[in-house]
Structure 1
Amino acid sequence: MAHQIKKKLGVTLYKGGAEFRVWAPFARQVSIRGTFTDDQPQLLTSEGDGYWFALIRNVEPGHQYKYLIETADRQLLEKNDPRARAITSSDKGFSVVVDNNFDWQNDKAFKMPPREDQVIYELHVGTFNRPDAATSGTFDSAIEKLDYLSKLGINVIELMPITSMAFSNGWGYAPNHIYSVESMLGGRHGLMKFVRECHARGIGVVLDVVYNHFYGDTDLWQFDGWNENNRGGIYFYNDERGDTPWGGRPDFGRPEVRQFILDNITMWFNEYHMDGLRVDSTIYMRNTEGHDNDPAHDISDTWSLLRDIVELAHKIKPDALMIAEDAACNAMITAPRANNGCGFDAQWELGWPHALRDALGLTADTTPTLQGIRYEFTHSYNGNDFERVIFSDSHDTAANGSVRLNEAADPTGGTTLHAREKALLADAVTLTSAGIPMILQGSEFLQDGSFNDWAALEWHKTEKYAGILLAHKHLLALRHNAYDTTRGLQGNS
């Protein structure tokens, strides 16, 4: 991989103190103020090449701090550490020195299920198992349902983004501190505990990560005061490439920004024992308009970065499941690096849920058509069925003005016999087709409505629609060849 930068940024704890290092190439001076400085600024030393460093005594886990950055025009900016492992609040909080110790117990014994046996469950921690209507779900509350998922037949959980975000109750796709785990969900050790408990039950964990943009109102924006064209400064493109519908696009061509992203990849695997990543909207990483075959708007820096991301992940964890969400469904995303591809293991098959709805007559004209699903049944990337993740619903298809498939069949609540039959048929087709199947949380017990970030799953429906749930258990048993009669579901065909 190119552009490797060896300096260790962020906080490095030692016995009796800690090193602090930050990148701020246009700063006149950088200071740090925190619990360990009695809230008085302490100067950092310039190391050259835009890096600033301090070795400070008596630093302990739990101490809070911020950087004070004097800009070229002598303004004083108060900024959080871009690599802080914890933030007290997503909205103008403080960086926190973290305790790196954690009892992983027998976690090294876990092995990721083979690709042909994987069944993914898309899970949003905040709504998956909420204690009550006023309280967000947490990693601890999600752990309470892991035995349920294991008995269902799930062996991979895909967590929707869990980093500190602009909206604490949100989906997670407005990231503002990509190194910090959202405190409302349980923070750093809460996530570690969740992964450990998943592994203890034979369940792998894939994390959804967002690098196509960083939310605009963030510490990274004009971090050291410098910018061009009134844009984002050192972490962002400072021309039209910096524009996305959601926030500034990182400068994928700047070595320090590439390393910021690659070190984040390393963190998820080494510190949190992740088993894979789902990289959000790679199409918007590689094209300013989110288009394929559009050279005029392609971002030339991105392809090599995506390749580096996958290569790094597989170097750390050879059996990592690396998934791309690329709206173009371009086969080169999952083609091997040796063939000039990105090398992702799989990508979301975004045409699958729409083809199912077409076949079931759930689109606007209500006329069933099999053309789309016929294509999906016979389509694969690079001759490998398992280079695609297939699903009847996801957080996208069941939101943004749409509803879950069962409610599309029955707008009065998604629970009529007609709706139940169509929803179960869609899942049965998905769970017995070629590809890596994924279930959106709650689909297995007929959760209805739109997917959103505030409505809790209605767990009483596991009893109300016990037959639907049992059917999913049987389908997953077939998928796993539990009775040694359905091995064909685990191989290319």
Structure 2
Amino acid sequence: MGSIPYSGGTTFRVWAPNATKVYVAGDFNGWSQATSPLVSEGNGNWSVDFRNATINQQYKYVIWNGSSQLWKNDARAQQVTASNGNTVIADPRFDWTDDLYSTPAWNDLVIYEMHVGTFNDTYGGLPGDFDNVILKLDYLQDLGINAIEVMPVNEFPGDFSWGYNMSHPFAIESVYGGSQAYKRFVNAAHVRGIAILQDVVFNHYGPTDLDLWQYDGWHQNFMGGIFFYNDERASTPWGDTRPDYGRSEVRQYIRDNSLFWLEDYHADGLRVDGTSWIRSVYGGGSYELPDGWSLMQWINNEVDARQGWKFIVAEDMQNNAWMTKTTGAGGAGFDSQWSAQFVHPIRSNIITSVDSNRNMWEVRDAISQRYNSDAFERIIFTESHDEVANGKMRVPEEIWPGNSGSWYSRKRSTLGAALVMTSPGVPMIFQGQEILENGYFADNDPIDWSKLNTYSGIHTLYSDLIKLRRNWYDNTRGLRGQNLNVHHVNDTDKVIAFHRWDTGGNGDDVIVILNMSNKTYPEYIIGFPSGGTWQVRFNSDSSIYSGDYGNYGSSSVNAVSGQWDGMPYNGALSIGPYSAMILSKD
């Protein structure tokens, strides 16, 4: 489907079941609207082979429905001149050099959510593009990041957008550089060992500059026509543009789009936006859409059968374990999902200004929550594009509005980072979080990279956490494991400690302790799973991270025999205010 170039010409094929005639008009025929007819295949599809139609030439379809004439872009356009412009015959060729690359293991992923237009840009003029992003991939690699979740990059109206208002589901945003630039970006990331997880939107399209709307002239109830529901099921918070998940051709369209990212563009996975709006008319609860559920199952089954190592994530936010159950068990079959049960209690407990209001039992439950007994079926974070906009701000800004660089903002926001990197789950940070970016996210507000110098210590803190999470030094293997025991919860003194492990033993068992109060504890006793010397691998109060930190805390702990916290051994350590420590044995 779409335009498929070959030596000497191009095949054009389009789905327009209610059309009475279809023509193609473009650079190759002087934009004649009546000299190049497509032939009906008798199944709703129309096609023609056109000699001398070549790559980079522009075109549109001229679709007739009775006496009505419509000029439409290709529904499967891979390149357009603009959201309201023409389709371009895209060049499918690319010199991929990622043959030696393999997607990281899911329990090793550390995700960096990115918005292409603001990640590496300056104020004024056009937004940033893929080539700008490529310039900072070495930075992300040095940080320890091995996966980038890219906010939607489909063609959208205008030049500035979050990306969730796509006009052309198969086309790459032209202001970002188009399809060839996207391939360069993916290839460059893979060469550095970085996976690409592409954010996709199937719960609605548009709603503006949307050529899919009444595509072949047919519609009911003045609604969207062949690609959309034409009754109350079309309604979403973003317009009456929910695709018709029950129509076989639309299901195929969405399935093909999913595989297109993974196979043609070499993406390592997908983040499927707002899945509750695919499975339900109202985003959860009543009025379910069984066809939406079965569509998600079909796509996940297809990916598992074709490229089972690729990572498909749901953004459902409804605490629904069925999203990540297997399709054989009746689940939707996603590999993981964003966890509202982590982000919301953790944010509230690090943002509140009064220590006595921190609820360590809520923190314990956030650390412990998982789906279907699998630690990696959830994505955990304290910042995302949704959590730092829509009336909310970056965590340091929430802690002290207008003074995000304050000691309190730095100390407590990085408590959140420590929890993200040490709790069971797949950790994710949002662009600029590692340099204490302030304010809120907007699509015309680039990351202020001068903060990399201002808060170089905070950047180092994030890098240290990420590398411990990924077991770079082969002494924190348990942070990649399934096992957890939150063995110490002190809601009076606001201290929590937990044990992480994979198979157990030296270099595997990890103890994490957090002091979530503005107090110093010179001799705090917690339980340990084994005796001997436990080395402090990370202390967020280290002056390495900021000159005004107290550098307070033990460098090692000697665990001695004696029951404590349900553990066979115990040890005393010192810990600074609003501080996290990570310990393991050599």
Count of aligned positions: 479
1:370 Cα deviation from its structure 2 partner: 3.1
Map of 1:341 onto structure 2: 331
Corresponding position: 1:213 with 2:204: yes
Corresponding position: 1:330 with 2:330: no
Map of 2:519 onto structure 1: none
* Aligned counterparts of 1:126 and 1:96: Cα–Cα separation in 2: 22
Which amino acid letter does the alignment assign opposite residue 80 of structure 2?
I
* Aligned counterparts of 2:192 and 2:164: Cα–Cα separation in 1: 28
In the superposition, relative to structure 1, how do residues 355 and 32 fare at CA in structure 2: closer, same or farther (>3 Å)?
Answer: same
Out of 347, 357, 364, the position equivalent to 1:357 is: 347
1:366 Cα deviation from its structure 2 partner: 9.4
Out of 271, 275, 284, the position equivalent to 2:277 is: 284
Which amino acid letter does the alignment assign opposite residue 477 of structure 1?
K
Corresponding position: 1:412 with 2:406: no
Of structures 1 and 2, the one with the larger relative CO (CA 8 A, separation 6+) is 1
* Aligned counterparts of 2:321 and 2:69: Cα–Cα separation in 1: 48
Out of 69, 85, 93, the position equivalent to 1:101 is: 93
Alpha-carbon RMSD:
1.4
Map of 1:27 onto structure 2: 19
Map of 1:69 onto structure 2: 63
Q: Tell whether the 8 Å contact from 1:212 to 1:249 is kept in structure 2 after alignment.
A: yes
* Aligned counterparts of 1:111 and 1:214: Cα–Cα separation in 2: 32
Task: Give per-residue Cα distances to partners, 1:438-491, cap 9 Å, x unaligned.
Answer: 010000010000011010001111110011001111111111111211111000
Map of 2:187 onto structure 1: 196
* Aligned counterparts of 1:443 and 1:210: Cα–Cα separation in 2: 25
* Aligned counterparts of 2:311 and 2:352: Cα–Cα separation in 1: 32
* Aligned counterparts of 2:442 and 2:363: Cα–Cα separation in 1: 27
Task: Give per-residue Cα distances to partners, 1:135-190, cap 9 Å, x unaligned.
Answer: 31110000111011001000000000001013431000001101000010011010
Map of 1:370 onto structure 2: 360
Corresponding position: 1:263 with 2:256: yes
1:364 Cα deviation from its structure 2 partner: 11
After TM superposition, the score normalised by the length of structure 2 is 0.80
Corresponding position: 1:249 with 2:239: no
Out of 351, 364, 385, the position equivalent to 1:395 is: 385
* Aligned counterparts of 2:354 and 2:430: Cα–Cα separation in 1: 23
* Aligned counterparts of 1:312 and 1:131: Cα–Cα separation in 2: 41
User: How many percent identity over aligned positions?
Assistant: 43
* Larger strand share, 1 or 2: 2
Q: In the TM superposition, what are the counterparts of 1:44-59 in structure 2 within 5 Å?
A: 44-59=38-53
In the superposition, relative to structure 1, how do residues 360 and 366 fare at CA in structure 2: closer, same or farther (>3 Å)?
Answer: farther
Q: Tell whether the 8 Å contact from 2:198 to 2:267 is kept in structure 1 after alignment.
A: yes
* Aligned counterparts of 1:364 and 1:222: Cα–Cα separation in 2: 55
Unaligned runs of 5+ in 2: 484-586
Map of 1:158 onto structure 2: 149
1:132 Cα deviation from its structure 2 partner: 4.3
* Aligned counterparts of 1:373 and 1:412: Cα–Cα separation in 2: 26
Which amino acid letter does the alignment assign opposite residue 443 of structure 2?
D
Deviates more, 1:311-320 or 1:188-197: 311-320
Corresponding position: 1:486 with 2:461: no
Unaligned runs of 5+ in 1: 1-8
Residue 357 of structure 2 aligns to a residue whose secondary structure is coil
After TM superposition, the score normalised by the length of structure 1 is 0.95
Q: Tell whether the 8 Å contact from 2:279 to 2:289 is kept in structure 1 after alignment.
A: yes
* Aligned counterparts of 1:81 and 1:237: Cα–Cα separation in 2: 20
Which amino acid letter does the alignment assign opposite residue 127 of structure 2?
S
Which amino acid letter does the alignment assign opposite residue 238 of structure 2?
W
Q: Tell whether the 8 Å contact from 1:131 to 1:141 is kept in structure 2 after alignment.
A: no
* Aligned counterparts of 2:259 and 2:106: Cα–Cα separation in 1: 22
Task: Give per-residue Cα distances to partners, 1:423-443, cap 9 Å, x unaligned.
Answer: 111111111110000010000
Corresponding position: 1:438 with 2:438: no
Which amino acid letter does the alignment assign opposite residue 157 of structure 2?
A
Out of 2, 6, 11, the position equivalent to 1:14 is: 6
* Aligned counterparts of 1:333 and 1:393: Cα–Cα separation in 2: 22
Q: Tell whether the 8 Å contact from 1:329 to 1:347 is kept in structure 2 after alignment.
A: no
Q: Tell whether the 8 Å contact from 1:133 to 1:456 is kept in structure 2 after alignment.
A: no
Q: Tell whether the 8 Å contact from 1:358 to 1:369 is kept in structure 2 after alignment.
A: no
* Aligned counterparts of 1:462 and 1:307: Cα–Cα separation in 2: 43
Which amino acid letter does the alignment assign opposite residue 336 of structure 2?
A
* Aligned counterparts of 1:11 and 1:378: Cα–Cα separation in 2: 50
Corresponding position: 1:427 with 2:417: yes
* Larger helix share, 1 or 2: 1
Residue 207 of structure 1 aligns to a residue whose secondary structure is strand
Which amino acid letter does the alignment assign opposite residue 176 of structure 2?
L
